Amino acid sequence: MNEQLVMGTTFASQLSRINNVNAINSDVEGGAARYDPLYTEFYLTRVRPDEAEQKLANIDPKLQSCLRFGRPKLEEIFKEMHQLCKTHGDKHCAVLVCGPDAMIHDARMLCPAWSTDGVKFEFHSETFDY
């Protein structure tokens, strides 16, 4: 199934849409053994290293594999995603970002920089102010 992310939609609705596609894909013969095109990382930046283990104990184990502590190393993440796309023949990589303005700016700038070799990074962001 070829799903495209739509500009102007919310971050949460995109995740819901991707989840629906993944559920369908896992029902397809061999779906569980196939490459999963959804790669997700959530960074918890206000947790001190000595608190990390205690915080993880209170989080659903299914979610722990996508949690990271500290700030994301965006350049490394883009490099890894670019390689994964090339390896699996993906031509588009949606970058969904929610966070501080500086991080959003950095991710936005890295999208065209890493859009090479037939792989296009498509930027989508959402900001929550409180």
pLDDT in tens, 40-54: 888 888 777 677 777
Residue 102's pLDDT is 92
Q: Which residues touch 1 (CB under 8 Å, ≥6 apart)?
A: 21, 24, 25
pLDDT recorded at residue 43? 87
**Please, how many CA atoms are within 13 Å of residue 24, restricted to the half-sphere of its CB?**
9
Q: Which of 20-24, 33-37, 82-86 has the lowest mean pLDDT?
A: 20-24
Distance CA 43, CA 28 (A): 31
Helices (runs of H) and strands (runs of E) counted in the chain: 5, 4
pLDDT of amino acid 117: 96
User: Given a cut of 70, is residue 10 above it in pLDDT?
Assistant: no
Higher pLDDT, 118 or 37: 118
For residue 110, pLDDT over 50 is answered with yes
